[in-house]
Amino acid sequence: MNYRLFGPTGLRVSELALGTMTFGEEWGWGAPKEESRRIFDAYAAAGGNFLDTANRYTEGTSERWVGEFVAAERERFVVATKYSLFTRKGDPNAAGNHRKSLVQSLEASLERMQLDYVDLYWVHAWDYLTPVDEVMRALDDVVRAGKALYVGISDTPAWIVARANMLAELRGWTPFAGIQVEYSLIQRTVERELLPMARALDLAVTAWGAIGGGVLTGKYNPDADAALREQPGRLRSNPNAARRAERNLRIAEAVREVARETGRSAAQVALNWVRHQPGKVVPILGARTLRQVEDTLGAVGWELDGDQRKRLDEASRIEAGFPHEFLQQPNIRDQVYAGTWERILDRRP
């Protein structure tokens, strides 16, 4: 495993992160403790050092086991957890982005993990209620208190992240060093705003859902038409859902074709594509069995060739939408650049 700098910081994280939402069986589909330990050990043996958990994952079991698993080599691992999701159902102040939610969530996470600090603390999801300055000042306080070393933000619009970091820089507070987003060959809408923002601000990107919820492993059906016929009636009666399913299965088949060419698994191909996108992108592995994590760890140490990347790009391409497509029109470029666009050599991303 190689390592990447986490955004604009000097922190080194492995090129694949281990997601631990599967650690625990409280939600009905996770791994028991013995299997979770085997998954962790396999990841660590491969050189992985970047662990992703959250206060809500498996009702706290994920954090407890992560803390136990890293205890023998605490300083080796970059432990990241999150706040924002509820800790007590029915209590409006036991969830959200505000200071009270942050403080009580972080204290509870540290207690569960038996840690003095976390390396990275994420805002889990934007609540649209808490002022940006309250969030950034509260995060800066926990960094100054030594309870978190770096901060990041997940599942949040680009304009909010950009505004938050500008505010932090102007006021001398700790800015976000990374974002966490859903990103895969079947979910590329983050390429419109979030990924360009991350590149412009030198933010790390951790990508969840990188194998499309399992669709890109090819496990559902290699025959798109047959798979669609087998869908429940609600899918057949919903043209938009049917089109999405058909598109996703076409992309999955393109992944399978490349997998056959390379002698790799479909999951390895899908993860390799994400890992080599422009910017500092780190896919998050999710596994419920040792076999699954051993397979996905094979996404490193090799690269897709140019033709293979091009075919996957074309199979999964999305529309950039407004204003991007508008600004790329030749007549608009002519107006904006006075007919000199092709002669301007230093173009920013």
Please provide the DSSP assignment of 152-191 as one string: EEES--HHHHHHHHHHHHHHTPPPP-EEEEE-BTTB-GGG
Looking at the fold, whether 347 and 257 belong to one and the same domain comes out as no
Looking at the fold, whether 302 and 338 belong to one and the same domain comes out as no
Percent share of the chain, pLDDT over 70: 94
- In this prediction, residue 239 carries a pLDDT of 62
| CATH number of the domain enclosing 132 | 3.20.20.100
Looking at the fold, whether 45 and 188 belong to one and the same domain comes out as yes
- In this prediction, residue 232 carries a pLDDT of 53
| Enzyme catalytic residues | 57
Q: Is residue 237 part of a domain?
A: no
3-state secondary structure of 264: coil
Looking at the fold, whether 203 and 328 belong to one and the same domain comes out as no
Q: Is residue 291 part of a domain?
A: yes
Looking at the fold, whether 213 and 332 belong to one and the same domain comes out as no
Looking at the fold, whether 208 and 348 belong to one and the same domain comes out as no
- In this prediction, residue 228 carries a pLDDT of 45
DSSP 31: B
Asked if residue 323 has a cis previous peptide bond (ω within 30° of 0), the answer is yes
Closest residue by Cα to residue 280 from 186, 207, 187: 207
Q: Give the tens place of pLDDT for each residue, 242-263.
A: 778 889 999 999 999 999 999 9
Range of the domain at 335: 324-349
Whether residue 55 has pLDDT greater than 70:
yes
Highest mean pLDDT among 176-190, 235-249, 334-348: 176-190
Q: Give the tens place of pLDDT for each residue, 182-219.
A: 999 999 999 999 999 999 999 999 999 999 999 999 77
Closest residue by Cα to residue 41 from 268, 294, 286, 267: 294
Q: Give the tens place of pLDDT for each residue, 125-155.
A: 999 999 999 999 999 999 999 999 999 999 9
Q: Is residue 245 part of a domain?
A: no
- In this prediction, residue 152 carries a pLDDT of 98
Looking at the fold, whether 285 and 348 belong to one and the same domain comes out as no
Q: Is the dihedral of CA 276, 282, 288, 293 positive or negative?
A: positive
Looking at the fold, whether 124 and 184 belong to one and the same domain comes out as yes
Please provide the DSSP assignment of 303-328 as one string: ---HHHHHHHHHHH-----TTHHHHT
Closest residue by Cα to residue 256 from 267, 268, 266, 270: 266
Looking at the fold, whether 266 and 348 belong to one and the same domain comes out as no
Q: Count of domains in the chain?
A: 2
Q: Is residue 236 part of a domain?
A: no
Q: What are phi and psi of 46, to 5 degrees?
A: -80, 0
Looking at the fold, whether 256 and 211 belong to one and the same domain comes out as yes
Looking at the fold, whether 338 and 216 belong to one and the same domain comes out as no
Whether residue 16 has pLDDT greater than 50:
yes
Looking at the fold, whether 300 and 344 belong to one and the same domain comes out as no
- In this prediction, residue 225 carries a pLDDT of 46
